[in-house]
Amino acid sequence: MKMKISFLLIIFIPLIFSCNINGNNEEIDDLKSQKFGLTVIAKGELYGNGDEGFNQENIVVTTEKQWKALISKMSKVNDVTQSFNETDIDFSEYRVVAIFDKVRGSGGYYLQVTSKPESGKIIIDIVHGTPAGAVTLNITQPYFIGKIPVSDMSVVFKDDSPMIYNR
């Protein structure tokens, strides 16, 4: 009887402790994701034939003045702010990340963007999507605007993801 109890203890004690440790790590990872998560403000395409004046670039906006200048520049040809989820940003709580793809010769291109904390930085992963099927012949420039909570962590854009071919 003592051998059975000893055997069961040897088997179940490590199992119990490993479950608790893994559960806690998953909880911590979930909290990190929530704390540094990216909230979508807007994503779509600019239709101004590049006249808005954006190169393929990534921008971090930290002030109301920078934000107003950005949305004004984005709306130079067409008022895209009507499709934004929000335009009033509390910059004491959030930073805005703006990602602009290069000007494309047709529609259907898009950006998929995610964020994650890594090594004391907030990594913004960018994946470029290409058209699948019929597309418009308009010249477009895909963009993504999102906000992340203010923190001491620097923002690093990682744009080496392969292009994907459908949504």
pLDDT of 165 reads 53
pLDDT of 144 reads 97
Tens-place pLDDT, residues 102-146: 999 998 999 999 999 999 999 999 999 988 877 778 899 999 999
Q: Cα 78–106–83 angle (5° rounding)?
A: 35
pTM for this model (two decimals): 0.75
CB 102 within 8 A of CB 56: yes
Which tokens in the block code for residue 137?
């012949």
CB 117 within 8 A of CB 152: no
Q: Cα(57)–Cα(73) distance, rounded to whole angstroms?
A: 14
Which residues are bridge partners to 46 per DSSP? Answer: 141
